[in-house]
Amino acid sequence: MRYKRGESFRFAFGSPLPAYFSIVKIDQELMDTSEGSAFLVDISPNGMKLSTSLDVPITDKTVFLGIRFTLNDTHFVTQGEILWKKQQYKDFHYGIQAHFEEGQQEKLIEELKIFAKKRT
């Protein structure tokens, strides 16, 4: 598993945000799994950490998730590759390299600024 620590910033939510995910692809094989619930622990323009009670099997294959969440009434839908997995008590944390569509990274940064101002 790979770790990406050279990002410009990572915003950690005090209380994780609800999120939903499904497996959309393993290597080059398309999948159609049911949606599972998760929590968004932290996020950056390039990735995120998800926490869920669901154990996604990680092998030497590349696993892509479809992820959706809402931040400040703005809905985000993206895909991301699982880079790492770590068990935390009964839950599993996943490091995801996000593949936001054009313009979504900027929108995410704007919404994170608004969210941070509301918290202070």
Written as six digits, the tokens of 29 are: 């094989």
DSSP category for residue 100: P
CATH superfamily of this structure's domain 11-111: predicted glycosyltransferase like domains (2.40.10.220)
Residue 2 has a pLDDT of 45
Say which residue the tokens 């094989």 belong to: 29
pLDDT truncated to tens, each residue of the chain (120 aa)? 444 555 568 899 989 999 999 999 999 999 989 999 999 999 999 999 999 999 998 888 999 999 999 999 999 999 999 999 999 999 999 999 999 988 999 999 999 999 999 887
Q: Where are the domains of the chain?
A: 11-111
Residue 101 has a pLDDT of 87
Beta bridge partners of 38: 19
Written as six digits, the tokens of 119 are: 């918290």
Output the pTM of the full model. 0.88
Residue 1 has a pLDDT of 41
